[in-house]
């Protein structure tokens, strides 16, 4: 696009550095340092995608430097701080799980209105760091120091766990008007404590029959949070008590929606985000997009592995050559140590798999896992396949249908 790109990343050798013209070793959490760098280099725009907390930094840099911005710092704070997020939803009557906020000196009596099990979360982190599902209030307080370790706040969020399926809604807002682009199923790592770790997205969602309800709550969120322009990424929970909001963000999702959305809708959301950050004229998404694009199915695989040292990986070029692969990438290389899975930072890599029918995409997923291997030093394949037989069923269906089919998309 003819742009000079400056990367801000606090690590000394980030993977994106070879793709940037300049890497500045600055934390994206350090708004003041980012503002100083923006002024020194006379930037024309600032943006982030796929990450939560830098959304606030980008908005603050834009405001401080008089640059184009899709949202105000006030809105950015509301969608990156769970205390403000939750209280805003309550103020506007938007359904969400029962919640409370605690700190090191809180007492158990402050959580009596929340039924167990509990979900403990930092107010301002990302990647499921410090998120726990816990069975007792005492467990909550025992885990509180670990959760606060991933936060800049003295408080943490406690929610009542809601048995549900999770879906994500990606959209684009134009002058406060929302266009929904895709609705996907957010498939989660089977876990008892470290919950919320995403292992894949499925398009289209098996809950598209509830689109009117989904659309209504998403439009309500845009109005409540005063989102004026740009991308939105909304996580909803669908269970026996209806649809509630888990959280929302003003960014492109981190499950490679920049590939899925153009494939499904023809709308290049990443290119438009770049244009928006520069104040350039936008190509707006078409109105009345079908919630299911005819003949288009996708399975985004977010890959995880057993812990261990990597000896050998299927060459990336070999996987890219498969006709059903829209995008693929690895976060680790041979010789690296794979950590135990406690949050999303343990993700090995990703693959965006596409197909024209449900049957075809099932076959493509199976073919992908036949080819994709991550060998440990003992010669075993460390790659874990998290697509159990019942992941094409809703929570309600799982409770009533005891017969499980073969792996199903």
Q: What is the value of pTM for the model shown?
A: 0.92
Q: Which domains does the chain have, with CATH numbers?
A: 6-78 (no CATH), 98-160 (3.30.1490.20), 165-277 (3.30.470.20), 297-384 (3.30.470.20)
Q: What is the pLDDT along the chain (409 residues), one digit of tens a residue?
A: 999 999 999 999 998 999 999 999 999 999 999 999 999 999 999 999 989 999 999 999 999 999 999 999 999 999 999 999 999 999 999 999 999 999 999 999 999 999 999 999 999 988 789 999 999 999 999 999 999 999 999 999 999 999 999 999 999 999 999 999 999 999 998 888 999 999 999 999 999 999 999 999 999 999 999 999 999 999 999 999 999 999 999 999 999 999 999 999 999 999 999 999 999 999 999 888 888 899 999 999 999 999 999 999 999 999 999 999 999 999 999 999 999 999 888 999 999 999 999 999 999 999 999 999 999 999 999 999 976 433 444 454 444 433 333 334 5
Q: pLDDT digit string (tens) for 7-66? A: 999 999 998 999 999 999 999 999 999 999 999 999 999 999 989 999 999 999 999 999
CA distances from 139 to 48, 136, 153, 157, 254 (A): 35, 5, 20, 14, 30
**Cβ–Cβ under 8 Å, residues 187 and 409:** no
Tokens 């994709």, located at residue: 372
> Which residues, in sequence order, are bridge partners of residue 6?
22
CA distances from 138 to 101, 114, 118, 128, 129 (A): 15, 14, 11, 21, 20
Rounded Cα–Cα distance for residues 83 and 157 (Å): 7
Summarised one tens digit per residue, pLDDT across range 174-198 is 999 999 999 999 999 888 899 999 9
For the chain, the farthest-separated pair of C-alpha atoms sits apart, in whole angstroms, at: 63
């Amino acid at each position: 696009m003819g742009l000079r790109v400056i990367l801000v990343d606090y690590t000394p050798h980030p993977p994106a550095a070879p793709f940037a013209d300049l890497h500045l070793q600055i934390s994206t959490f350090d708004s003041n340092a980012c503002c100083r760098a923006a002024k020194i280099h006379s930037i024309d725009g600032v943006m982030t995608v796929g990450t939560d907390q830098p959304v606030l930094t980008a908005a603050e840099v834009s405001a401080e430097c008089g640059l184009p911005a899709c949202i105000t710092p006030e809105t950015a704070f509301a969608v990156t701080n769970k205390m403000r997020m939750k209280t805003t939803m309550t103020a506007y009557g938007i359904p969400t799980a029962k919640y409370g906020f605690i700190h090191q000196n809180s007492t158990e009596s402050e959580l009596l209105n929340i039924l167990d099990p509990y979900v403990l979360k930092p107010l301002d982190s990302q990647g499921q760091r410090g998120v726990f599902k816990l069975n007792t209030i005492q467990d909550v307080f025992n885990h509180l120091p670990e959760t606060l370790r991933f936060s800049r706040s003295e408080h943490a969020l406690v929610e009542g766990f809601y048995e549900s399926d999770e879906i994500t809604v990606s959209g684009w807002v134009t002058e406060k008007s929302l266009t929904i682009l895709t609705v996907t199923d957010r498939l989660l790592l089977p876990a008892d404590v470290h919950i919320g770790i995403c292992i894949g997205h499925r398009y289209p969602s098996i809950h598209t029959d509830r689109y009117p309800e989904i659309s209504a709550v998403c439009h309500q969120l845009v109005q409540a949070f005063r989102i004026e322009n740009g991308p939105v990424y909304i996580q909803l929970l669908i269970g026996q008590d209806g649809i509630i909001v888990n959280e929302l963000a003003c960014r492109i999702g981190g499950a490679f929606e920049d590939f899925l959305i153009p494939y499904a809708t023809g709308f290049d959301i990443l290119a438009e985000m770049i244009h928006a950050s520069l104040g350039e004229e936008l190509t707006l998404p078409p109105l009345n997009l079908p919630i299911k694009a005819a003949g288009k199915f996708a399975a985004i695989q977010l890959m995880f592995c057993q812990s261990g040292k990597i000896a050998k990986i299927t060459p990336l070029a070999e996987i890219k050559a498969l006709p059903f692969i829209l995008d693929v990438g690895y976060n680790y290389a041979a010789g690296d140590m794979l950590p135990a899975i406690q949050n999303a930072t343990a993700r090995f890599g990703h693959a965006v798999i596409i197909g024209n029918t449900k049957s075809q995409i099932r076959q493509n997923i199976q073919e992908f896992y036949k080819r994709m291997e991550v060998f440990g030093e003992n010669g075993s394949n460390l790659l874990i396949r998290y697509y159990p037989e019942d992941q094409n069923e809703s929570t309600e269906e799982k409770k009533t249908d005891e017969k499980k089919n073969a792996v199903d998309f």
